[in-house]
Each structure stands twice: as structure tokens, then as C-alpha cells.
């Protein structure tokens, strides 16, 4: 495992947790969640529980870096069930909005702590009296990507009156059926169990004409789903230039970011979607130098995650022509030029050297 692998794992696992905090109404967060294994716990209680464990990992990283026990021992000792019960009691009366904000902040702090630690600090086994033998990466795994998926079912919710008639036809690209359902008053922004609106279903299926119908009917262009994607963010890695242009024209916000903290441009560059990159650079105000949670820009991903071939060379040329900063290094301090040289990408190296 690399430091970047660790970040990807925690960001992937946390996305449904963050989406629940963003999408669920406060009244639903205050209701008991599904699941017989945590009876009486509300969805808000689950978010508070997750927040405490996020903070535990952050404090562990800081403790190892400072060589200070982040949880000094007490006469009563420490017990897992007692800790969880104490967290439940301490935060049960807090408003849902406060708990959502706390959980989100605790996760941002964890990502920052992992990003700021060196690979050796994270991956080398650590020996402390207060830390079970293993690495900090093992601690983070236990508290995050091995932990968060346990609680996704506890946060599940679909509006009991959700009108899901549009989702199937939209996903299948059946424009006539979508048109008829819209005329009959079907819910244009109702979400399914995955948090997807009909517009997202159409975008995931690559159906431009259906997406246009839904937008014309007033569909929310930037509605996030249960993995934190908006339709625009989903169209980027899919490389669907026509959908990107349509959504941009409908007011999609190119500054919104996905679960990795990246814009639609970054995965489009990585995956070699040349037409999509052209649309994003020419028709939107996307930040060409945006850096995601992994420390990568679109230029960086176009170099390190691709084959260096003619398509990637053209993407690099376009990025540089639109102001991409080749001096922005990754979390290890390595620039796109350094990577291109190491990988033997001669043409890209020449471009990045400015020759």
C-alpha cells in the first residue's frame, strides 16, 4: 500500500457517510436508523460515532509524530463499548446540523493528517506502549475504511413518497417514456435508494436527449448522489463531451468536487478523454490547476496514470495552453516533469521542459 492508496481507500469508504449528512433531512437524521445491531441509535448518533473514530485516527497520527500518548490512561482504563456509549450520551442532544458539521470536519482533519504525514510515518510499524503493534495505516484502516461501510446501512433512507417512475426510462434512454411521464407529473428530482435523481440516471447511461428533457422540465443540475457525484462530475470520468457541454450550458458548477476532492477535469485527463477535456477547458471555468485530496492536478494525472501516448500528449498540450502549472508537485514533492522523465515519456518531457 502507498500513501495514495490509503487516501483513496478512506475517501471511497467515507463518501456514502458524507452524502448522508448532506442529503438527509434533519428530521430523518433524528430518527432511529435501520438495523437491529444498533437499536435506538438515530442516524445522527451514527454520524457522531463515526466522527469520534475519525478524530481518534487523527490524534493517533499526531501522537506518533510528537511521541506523546494522545489518550493518556485513566484509572478506569479503556473499554470499546464504554467509549461508544459515552460518545452516544455526549452528543445525543446536539442538533443534527451540528453533528453533521462535526463529522464532516473530523473527516477533513483526518484527510489532512494523512496527507501531511510521510509514507514512513504512515506505513512503517510503530512500537508504542499505547499503540498495538502495527502501523498508523493499520489504525486509519480500522477507524475508517474498515469501519465506515458498517454504518452505511444504518444511514439508509428513501423518502416514503418518492416518485421513482422516471428512473428506469431515464437510465435506459427511453425519451418518449420520459416525455410522457413528465407530462403526467412524475417527480423530476426524486431520489432512489442510491441518492440518484432521474438526471443522474440519464447521465450515467450516457443519454443526452433524455438529460435535455429532464433539464427542460426543471431538474436540479447539480444534485449530488450517494457517492457525492453531481451529473457534471459523473460525465467527466465517463468522457461524455456532449453531456458535459449540455450540463455546462444548463448552469452546472465546474468548481464542485467529487469524493476525491477533484473536479470533472481531473479524471477526464487521467482517462484520456480528449473531447471531454476540450469541452471542459473551452466551455467552462473549471480550474485547470485544482489539486485534489491525493495532491494531483489534471496535468499530474495525465502524466502518472496514463500511457504517455499521442492522446495523453495532446491532453498535456491543451492543459499547458490553458495555463496548467507544471511546477505543482504531488504530496511527495515530485513534479509532473520529474514523473515524465522517470517514466520515459519523451514527448511529454519535452513539452513540460518548455522546449
In the three-class reduction of DSSP (H, G, I as helix; E, B as strand; rest coil), residue 279 is classed as helix
Give pLDDT, residue 128.
Answer: 79
Cell numbers that stand for 198 in this block: 432521474
Alpha-carbon gap, residue 338 to 347, rounded angstroms: 13
Give pLDDT, residue 355.
Answer: 62
For residue 222, how many other CB atoms are within 10 A of its CB?
Answer: 15
Give pLDDT, residue 37.
Answer: 85
Using the predicted structure, report yes or no on whether residue 166 has a pLDDT greater than 90. yes
Could you give the number of structural domains in the chain?
A: 1
Using the predicted structure, report yes or no on whether residue 108 has a pLDDT greater than 80. yes
Q: Do 265 and 290 form a contact (C-beta atoms < 8 A)?
A: yes
Query: CATH code at 39?
Result: 1.20.120.450
Give pLDDT, residue 11.
Answer: 98
Select the more confidently predicted residue: 38 or 199: 199
Separation in Å, CA 118 to CA 3, 110, 144, 172, 342: 8, 14, 19, 46, 21
For residue 98, how many other CB atoms are within 10 A of its CB?
Answer: 12
Using the predicted structure, report yes or no on whether residue 73 has a pLDDT greater than 80. no
Evaluate whether residue 111 is within a structural domain. yes
Alpha-carbon gap, residue 90 to 72, rounded angstroms: 20
Give pLDDT, residue 126.
Answer: 83
Evaluate whether residue 127 is within a structural domain. yes
Give pLDDT, residue 288.
Answer: 98
Using the predicted structure, report yes or no on whether residue 12 has a pLDDT greater than 70. yes
Q: Which of 65-69, 130-134, 221-225 has the highest mean pLDDT?
A: 221-225
Using the predicted structure, report yes or no on whether residue 74 has a pLDDT greater than 80. no
Q: Do 57 and 110 form a contact (C-beta atoms < 8 A)?
A: yes
Give pLDDT, residue 76.
Answer: 62
- Give Cα 234 distance to the centre of its chain: 12
Average pLDDT over residues 320-325: 97
Evaluate whether residue 90 is within a structural domain. yes
Evaluate whether residue 186 is within a structural domain. no
Evaluate whether residue 173 is within a structural domain. no
pLDDT-above-70 percentage for the chain: 99
Q: Which domain holds residue 132?
A: 3-155
Residue with grid cell 491525493, as numbered in its chain: 294
Q: What is the pLDDT confidence band of residue 75, given thresholds at 50, 70 and 90?
A: low
Evaluate whether residue 139 is within a structural domain. yes
Rg of the chain taking only CA atoms, in angstroms = 23
Average pLDDT over residues 247-260: 98
Alpha-carbon gap, residue 228 to 248, rounded angstroms: 18
Cell numbers that stand for 290 in this block: 485544482
Evaluate whether residue 129 is within a structural domain. yes
Instruction: Give the burial class of 140: count Cβ atoms within 10 A of its Cβ; 0-12 exposed, 13-18 middle, 19 or more buried.
Output: buried
Average pLDDT over residues 208-235: 98
Evaluate whether residue 355 is within a structural domain. no
Give pLDDT, residue 3.
Answer: 95
Amino acid at each position: 500500500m502507498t500513501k495514495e492508496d490509503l487516501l483513496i481507500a478512506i475517501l471511497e469508504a467515507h463518501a456514502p457517510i458524507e452524502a448522508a449528512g448532506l442529503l438527509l433531512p434533519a428530521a430523518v437524521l433524528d430518527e432511529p436508523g435501520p438495523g437491529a445491531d444498533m437499536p435506538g441509535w438515530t442516524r445522527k448518533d451514527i454520524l457522531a460515532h463515526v466522527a469520534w473514530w475519525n478524530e481518534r485516527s487523527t490524534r493517533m497520527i499526531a501522537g506518533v509524530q510528537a511521541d506523546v500518548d494522545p489518550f493518556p490512561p485513566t484509572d478506569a482504563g479503556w473499554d470499546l463499548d464504554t467509549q461508544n456509549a459515552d460518545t452516544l450520551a455526549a452528543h445525543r442532544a446536539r442538533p443534527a446540523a451540528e453533528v453533521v458539521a462535526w463529522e464532516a470536519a473530523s473527516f477533513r482533519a483526518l484527510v489532512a493528517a494523512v496527507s501531511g504525514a510521510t509514507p514512513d510515518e504512515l506505513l512503517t510499524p510503530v512500537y508504542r506502549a499505547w499503540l498495538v503493534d502495527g502501523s498508523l495505516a493499520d489504525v486509519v484502516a480500522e477507524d475508517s475504511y474498515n469501519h465506515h461501510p458498517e454504518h452505511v446501512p444504518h444511514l439508509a433512507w428513501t423518502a416514503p413518497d418518492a416518485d421513482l417512475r422516471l428512473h428506469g426510462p431515464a437510465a435506459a434512454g427511453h425519451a418518449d417514456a420520459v416525455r410522457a411521464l413528465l407530462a403526467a407529473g412524475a417527480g423530476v428530482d426524486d431520489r432512489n435508494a442510491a441518492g440518484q435523481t432521474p438526471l443522474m440516471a440519464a447521465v450515467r447511461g450516457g443519454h443526452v436527449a433524455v438529460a435535455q428533457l429532464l433539464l427542460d422540465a426543471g431538474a436540479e443540475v447539480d444534485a449530488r448522489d450517494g457517492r457525492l457525484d453531481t451529473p457534471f462530475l459523473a460525465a467527466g470520468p465517463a468522457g461524455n463531451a456532449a453531456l458535459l457541454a449540455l450540463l455546462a450550458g444548463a448552469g452546472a458548477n465546474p468548481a464542485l468536487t467529487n469524493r476525491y476532492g477533484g473536479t470533472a477535469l481531473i479524471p477526464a485527463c487521467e482517462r484520456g478523454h480528449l473531447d471531454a477535456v476540450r469541452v471542459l477547458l473551452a466551455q467552462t471555468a473549471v480550474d485547470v490547476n485544482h489539486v485534489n485530496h491525493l495532491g494531483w492536478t489534471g496535468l499530474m494525472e495525465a502524466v502518472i496514470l496514463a500511457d504517455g501516448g499521442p492522446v495523453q500528449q495532446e491532453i498535456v498540450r491543451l492543459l499547458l495552453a490553458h495555463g496548467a502549472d507544471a511546477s505543482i508537485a504531488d504530496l511527495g514533492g515530485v513534479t509532473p516533469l520529474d514523473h515524465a522523465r522517470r517514466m520515459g515519456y519523451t514527448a511529454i518531457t519535452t513539452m513540460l521542459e518548455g522546449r
